[in-house]
């Protein structure tokens, strides 16, 4: 089951939560879980009594290269055995029943996990079997429950997607990506002076061709054109293109006169 | 393909983003996408040229009861046709290339989508085919790109999981206050169909005057013009002005010939 070259870059991050699949049914899902863990920078996978035994070739086939996670996964015959070395255990739970535990959102849980990591404690997250989810005995092993805020009218969540959301929130909880930025690989947003140059060029040509001949409306029309070009975060390269567009469109008239 | 009783509670929420799958390959993935949409309260699904045709029984089998979403899905033969009635289009893009567009995180995009909904605008999210993702022509149709903050060492993301993260963030974002909005008192943001009309007009005139005579460079130049105008949230009134600008600038040449 080893020796694939995919996922060579995957590494164990000390203190990150261990993912513990309790009685998972389908090997394909175990593979998809490994892929989702890789997406969110999680590495340690523990399997408690997988229904069809372990290892299973089909898991590697659905892992899309996250082979190292599967290669390193450990097998346990009870939840107690799987969590024995950990200090903090979370249990995902779509429908909390009569259990008195703190209940966290996925985002809240990720923040808590970062805090646990800073304390140097070992931690893990329990995910239940595909159909039934964790039972009360499983959940009794957890310090806190995690319930995702999702559509209560449709709560059937695929196992790998449940892991995906937690892995995503784990990754996000350190992320500093600004929520919005302009992608400009080979150019830069134009300066206001460059934009002004273009607007001067455009308005001169529009005066020339008579588009702005209605004197009372002229200031409003010019202002509207300005609004449009100010808003789009025009790049320096695009401005050069626009200069060319205006020049070429007007060329015929210039050559005629 | 209809008549299953699953997902009876699923309903269309006005103003929620439409999910647009561009050239999806596997019907199972389309079903899993519907399930993920249901988890996050999304309902409208549009399919652009699915590889194996549509409908496909296998999609319903993997939807875990989100049948209504599949029953109501619409089929389109191009991205242009699928976005023609929308006013704001987002494109998911794991690896942005040489494109000048705003780039949002999933969370930033969800906040933006809530703001777009409050403005009463139609909106959609493009997801590319499983293997290759969206191509440059697809992305040129978008106002903004969405890039998930996820492990850059392992960016292979399953299609349904890509939809899951966006659906989850959409569901989570209900309380967010708008990060920004477009002031449009007397007009409205143009539809993609109206924008397409203008671009067709502009390109025809640019062909006519010879601006696009360099055949190898023509597609890239046209795409750059498209990027610019897709980005600026052009209003319907501004588009009418732009039509006039192009027509009047070109008039001299037409009168001469």
Residue A90: partners with Cβ closer than 8 Å, 6 or more residues away:
A17, A104, A109, A112, A113, A123, A124, A125, A126, A142, A143, A144, A145, A146
Q: How many CB pairs under 8 A join A and B?
A: 214
CB contact under 8 A, B150 and A168: yes
- pLDDT for B1 equals 33
Q: Which of A249, A251, A255, A256 to mutate to test the interface with B (most CBs of B within 10 A)?
A: A249
Q: How far apart are CA B116 and CA B144, in angstroms?
A: 13
What are the tokens at A42?
Answer: 């999680």
Q: How far apart are CA A84 and CA A63, in angstroms?
A: 27
* A111-125 mean pLDDT: 89
Q: Which of A61, A203, A227, A248 to mutate to test the interface with B (most CBs of B within 10 A)?
A: A248
Rg over CA atoms, chain B: 20
CA B15, distance to chain mean position in Å, is: 14
- Give tens-digit pLDDT for A77-105: 999 999 998 888 999 987 766 667 788 88
Residues on chain A touching B244 (C-beta within 8 angstroms) = 211
CB contact under 8 A, A151 and B221: no
Residues on chain B touching A149 (C-beta within 8 angstroms) = 171-172
CA angle B172, B99, A172 (to 5 degrees): 30
ipTM of the shown complex:
0.73
Average pLDDT over all residues of chain A? 86
Based on the number of CB atoms within 10 Å of its own CB, is A221 exposed (0-12), middle (13-18) or buried (19 or more)? middle
Q: How would you write the pLDDT of chain B (257 residues) with one tens digit per residue?
A: 333 445 556 888 889 999 999 999 999 999 999 999 999 999 999 999 999 999 999 999 999 999 999 999 999 999 999 999 998 999 998 776 667 788 899 999 999 999 889 888 889 999 999 988 999 889 888 888 999 989 988 878 899 999 999 999 999 987 544 444 444 456 777 888 888 999 999 999 989 888 888 899 899 888 888 888 877 678 888 888 888 888 888 886 666 55
Q: How far apart are CA A186 and CA A203, in angstroms?
A: 28
Nearest to B138 by CA among B76, B211, B59: B76
Residues on chain A touching B93 (C-beta within 8 angstroms) = none
Nearest to B145 among A149, A183, A205 (CB): A183
Nearest to A186 among B9, B98, B108 (CB): B98
Q: How far apart are CA B217 and CA B50, in angstroms?
A: 30
Nearest to B104 by CA among A178, A152, A169: A178
Other Cβ atoms within 10 Å of B72 Cβ, number: 14
């Amino acid at each position: 089951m080893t020796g694939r070259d995919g996922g060579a870059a995957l590494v164990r991050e000390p203190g990150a939560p261990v993912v513990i699949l309790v009685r998972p049914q389908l090997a394909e899902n175990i593979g998809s879980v490994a892929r989702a863990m890789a997406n969110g920078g999680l590495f340690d996978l523990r399997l408690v009594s997988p229904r069809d035994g372990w290892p299973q070739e089909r898991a590697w086939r659905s892992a899309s290269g996250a082979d190292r996670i599967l290669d390193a996964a450990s097998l346990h015959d009870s939840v107690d055995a799987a969590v024995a070395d950990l200090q903090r255990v979370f249990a995902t739970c779509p429908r909390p029943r009569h259990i008195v535990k703190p209940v966290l959102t996925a985002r809240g849980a990720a923040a808590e996990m970062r805090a646990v990591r800073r304390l140097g404690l070992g931690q893990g997250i329990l995910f239940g079997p595909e159909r039934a989810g964790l039972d009360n005995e499983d959940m009794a092993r957890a310090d806190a429950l995690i319930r995702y805020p999702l559509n209560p009218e449709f709560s059937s969540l695929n196992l790998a997607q449940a892991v995906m959301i937690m892995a995503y929130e784990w990754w996000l909880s350190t992320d500093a990506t600004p929520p919005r930025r302009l992608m400009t690989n080979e150019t830069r947003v134009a300066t206001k002076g460059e934009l002004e140059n273009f607007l001067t060029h455009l308005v001169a040509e529009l005066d020339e061709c008579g588009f702005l001949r209605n004197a009372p409306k002229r200031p409003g029309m010019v202002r509207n054109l300005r609004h449009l070009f100010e808003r789009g975060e025009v790049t320096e390269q695009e401005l050069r293109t626009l200069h060319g567009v205006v020049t070429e469109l007007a060329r015929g008239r210039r050559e005629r006169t």
